[in-house]
Amino acid sequence: MDTGIATKCIYGNHEKFEGDRTGAISFPIYQTATYAHPAVGQSTGYDYSRLQNPTREQLEKIVASLEGGLDALAFSSGMAAITTLMEIFKPGDHIISEADLYGGSIRLFDHINQKNGIEFSRINFAEEDPENYIKENTKAIYIETPTNPMMNVIDIRKTAELAKKHNLLLIVDNTFLSPYFQRPFELGADIILHSGTKFLSGHNDTLAGFIVVNTPELSEKLRYIIKTTGAGLAPFDSWLVLRGIKTLPIRMEKAQENAQAIVEFLMQEKKVKNVYYPGIPGTNNYEVCKSQASGFGSMLTFEVESKELALHILESLKLIPFAESLGGVETLITYPTAQTHADVPEEIRIKNGITDSVLRLSAGIEDKKDLIADLKQAIDSFRE
């Protein structure tokens, strides 16, 4: 049955799970570590929950369905997913990555993967041609789009064409837009990543990560690694993400509506120097995003006049929490310099535009007039 994405969020590809005979509408939590065997050499299909668990398997099928992939693997966090993915590479391999990435990804690449012999070239895809950085040992291109936190939009089709020309893997972190707004496989990507903690879960109550692939070879390779390293998502957390995905479409739509209203407000504020959001008409980001996604999302970044004003806003907000993370029903504001990108060297942060007067905001699903009023009172109460 070919169904729309809102239906897939609830039923996936409508495959029935034969292990439960109760007719439960909410998929059961199989809170077990191991499974009894009928006899020697026989299995129920489940042997040990590090290998697979019915609740995790159901979640993985749903996510694979949403992205149009062959297989999805659920991990204990987004970083666990990226860490596992890096294990498909070997010492001496080279990866080209976007310069503006989540700080945890940069930390992993710089302090773990490079130590293990993987080489990285970090470039600004908007200003530099990645083809100039391809070498004999280059194996993959790694991007986020939009990027975290500066909201740069990378042309996935164009990058996929380049990757295929040189027989490289294209890895796309699709966390910010989710499969509801953007489906990278349809644009030529080979591997899709998610921090499932964010929009897929949507309630700021659990950690999760995903790798989605569309070839048997990558599936087999990654299944072996997740079995060996043991980074799979636990049953209860899998159930929480399953529950969260059911409301993904209505959350994404409402949060985007709020983000667009906040962007319009911020662009009129004299104390706000810059607003970064893919949905601002007249920008290159707008045109590229419009060509490859069905929405602009609910993430935005803005730069105010001074560090002092940025700190004042964080301390003066009465409704919006000052907290790390994003993608939940609650609007959250983050200070990248001290939080998400604190471990990124200062010269790299500044080069990427992450100054000490930059704030990142993840719009939630509250009443937009309340969010704007909270931001306005925080800005207006600042006295230099």
* Catalytic residue from among 11, 35, 50, 273: 50
Backbone angles phi, psi at 23, to 5 degrees: 80, 20
> Does the annotation count 93 as an active-site position?
no
Amino acid at 163: A
Q: Which of 100, 173, 190, 374 is catalytic?
A: 173
Active site residue 223: no
With left for phi above 0 and alpha for psi between -120 and 50, is residue 67 left, alpha or beta?
alpha
Is 50 a residue of the active site?
Answer: yes
- Checking if the pLDDT of 384 tops 80, the result is no
Mean pLDDT, range 214-218, rounded to an integer: 98
Ordered structural domains, the chain, with CATH: 13-245 (3.40.640.10), 248-380 (3.90.1150.10)
Residue 130 pLDDT greater than 80, yes or no: yes
Q: Of 198, 251, 254, 360, which is the active-site residue?
A: 198
Where on the phi/psi map is residue 114: left (φ > 0), alpha (ψ -120 to 50), or beta? alpha
- Each residue's pLDDT tens digit, 169-206: 999 999 999 999 999 999 999 999 999 999 999 999 99
User: What is the model's pLDDT at position 339?
Assistant: 81
Distance of alpha carbon 236 from alpha carbon 41, whole angstroms: 29
Instruction: Decide: residue 44, CB within 10 A, 0-12 exposed, 13-18 middle, 19+ buried.
Output: exposed
Give the Cβ contact number of residue 333 at 10 Å.
21
Work out the number of other CB atoms within 10 angstroms of the CB of residue 205. Answer: 14
297: nearest Cα among 352, 258, 340:
258
Which SS3 state, helix, strand or coil, does residue 139 take?
strand
Which residue in 30, 56, 71, 102 is the catalytic one? 102
Q: Catalytic annotation on 335?
A: no
Angle at 37 between CA 36 and CA 41, to 5 degrees: 160
Give the model confidence (pLDDT) of 79-105 as tens digits.
999 999 999 999 999 999 999 999 999
pLDDT of the residue at 266: 98
pLDDT at position 13, please? Answer: 84
Q: Residue 1 has what pLDDT?
A: 66
pLDDT band at 347 (very low <50, low <70, confident <90, very high): confident
